[in-house]
Amino acid sequence: MKANVAHEYGHHVQNVLGTNAKVQAASRKNPKKANQYSVALELQADCFAGVWAHHSQQGKGWLEAGDIEEALNAAAQIGDDTLQRNAGRGVVPESFTHGTSDQRQRWFKRGLAQGNVQDCDTFAARQL
């Protein structure tokens, strides 16, 4: 449950920073890249969730044993590739809106590692 809350926290940070509005504007300008922008936005929210977990644990110590594993498992289960496979369909990367299971886990871990928001710039990343 904390993993879901942390991801939504990430979206709140994006709203505060104006990232959501920028992505919406860019998607309207270039609809062919809308899914690509959506993936970057979602992976950034995963990274921000990791930042939240990092600081929550250091500042409050309120994460319980297994919370990080639960977050990583949740990320793995809701990757676009996994969802498509589990639905009995072929994996179609062009249709992704949230990223692969591996990407979601990697970006969460990236935010968790140092707790730096600056490490979460998925839009400038060479590889998601």
Convert the pLDDT of each residue in 52-67 to its tens digit: 999 988 877 788 878 8
pLDDT at position 59 is 79
Per-residue confidence band for 2, with pLDDT thresholds at 50, 70 and 90: low
pLDDT above 90: percentage of residues in the chain: 76
Pick from 43, 46, 54: which is nearest to 115 by CA?
54
Return the ∠ at Cα 44 (arms to 31 and 110), rounded to 5°: 145
